[in-house]
């Protein structure tokens, strides 16, 4: 059934990806509103061979709208949540504003689509590193419970938005031209460099990005006993995140069993060619829907064959953000 939809934050990197994915997947809609801040209001935008005018997002923007895809930042999501739900519209929110609210489902359709039915007007999209990491872990966890998960992320500039992607390009030129490196969108020089994710550090020494992965995984898996530790790093890549994932299982499991489980898992594909030393890279995942998995090997430091190492790559703007939200909207249909 076609719906009236709105894109909140349409001018941003994820907002633009929303439009691309809606078109590619031929999402059925009767009408679509392009919403952004007052700075962008009045500008024109092309979508499906038609010109639309961007509107300033106000509390009246959601009257007559069925589904609003939000990627306008957490403060905007909080500011407009009541207006959205009062209008009878469902907010699918890409920010961190409501992820850990016990009243709000936190959904990855390949893992917990049943949670969508419990929504009270808001459905939260998980963090990009969480989605990319746990889509391939879930089918393994279903077959053999994961006791402990150690994750190191290698996160692209796209996670900090369109301005950060442009700044990475500019910084690369500045370094190569011997000019001073300018950091505005990014906390530090990212070109020819990497640094610990520059989200706020908590009293436990972990940053917000790391704790998101810990807390969100437990909520999505509905399994509080899983032990998780995470180190998040920003790397000079434009738009696809990679992650090194170490898993300890309750029972023995082999790389061959992992390969078999992942070969039929939704949203997952495999590049694992040991002879050619060919494994997932950001350029493999950029523009792709699937999370790509490789370097599937036994962790020989864990006794009784209960440990597995994985390497994954996923497009942060697609499955890590916009695609997951559109998949939720498709389930709402």
Catalogue the active-site residues. Answer: 128, 241
**Both structure tokens of 41:** 């209001």
Residues in the chain: 333
Q: What is the DSSP letter of 208?
A: H
Q: Count other Cβ atoms within 10 Å, centred on residue 166.
A: 15
**HEC secondary structure over 53-110:** ECEECCCCCCCCCCEEEECCCHHHHHHHHHHHHHCCCEEEECCCCCCCCCCCCECCCC
Q: Is 306 helix (H, G, I), strand (E, B) or coil?
A: coil
Beta bridge partners of residue 232, listed in sequence order: 153
In the block, tokens 């997952």 appear at 268
245 touches 137 (CB < 8 A): yes
Q: Are 202 and 211 in contact (CB under 8 A)?
A: yes
Handedness of CA 15, 17, 18, 19 (dihedral sign): positive
220: nearest Cα among 94, 144, 113: 113
């Amino acid at each position: 059934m076609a719906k009236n939809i709105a894109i909140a934050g349409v001018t941003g990197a994820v907002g633009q990806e929303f439009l691309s994915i809606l078109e590619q997947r031929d999402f059925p809609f009767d009408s679509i509103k392009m919403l952004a801040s007052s700075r962008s209001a009045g500008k024109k935008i092309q979508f499906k061979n038609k010109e639309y005018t961007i509107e300033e997002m106000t509390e009246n923007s959601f009257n007559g709208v069925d589904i609003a895809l939000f990627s306008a930042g957490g403060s905007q999501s909080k500011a407009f949540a009541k207006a959205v739900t009062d209008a009878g519209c469902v907010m699918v929110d890409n920010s961190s504003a409501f992820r850990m609210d016990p009243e709000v489902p936190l959904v990855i359709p390949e893992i917990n689509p049943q949670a969508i039915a419990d929504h009270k007007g808001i459905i939260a999209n998980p963090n990009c590193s969480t989605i990319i990491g746990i889509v391939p872990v879930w089918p393994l966890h279903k077959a053999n419970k994961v006791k402990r998960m150690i994750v190191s992320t290698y996160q692209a500039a796209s996670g900090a938005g369109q301005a950060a992607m442009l700044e990475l390009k500019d910084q690369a030129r500045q370094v190569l031209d011997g000019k001073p490196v300018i950091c505005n969108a990014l906390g530090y020089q990212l070109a020819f460099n990497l640094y610990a994710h520059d989200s706020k550090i908590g009293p436990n020494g972990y940053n917000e990005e790391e704790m998101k992965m810990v807390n969100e995984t437990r909520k999505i898996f509905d399994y509080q006993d899983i032990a998780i530790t995470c180190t998040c790093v920003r790397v000079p890549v434009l738009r696809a995140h990679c992650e090194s994932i170490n898993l300890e299982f309750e029972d023995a499991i082999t790389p061959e069993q992992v390969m078999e489980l992942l070969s039929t898992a939704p949203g997952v594909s495999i590049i694992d060619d040991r002879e050619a030393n060919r494994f997932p890279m950001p350029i493999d995942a950029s523009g792709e829907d699937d999370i790509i998995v490789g370097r599937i090997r036994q962790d020989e430091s864990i006794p009784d064959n209960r440990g597995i190492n994985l390497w994954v790559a996923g497009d942060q703007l697609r499955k890590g953000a916009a695609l997951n939200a559109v998949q939720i909207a498709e389930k709402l249909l």
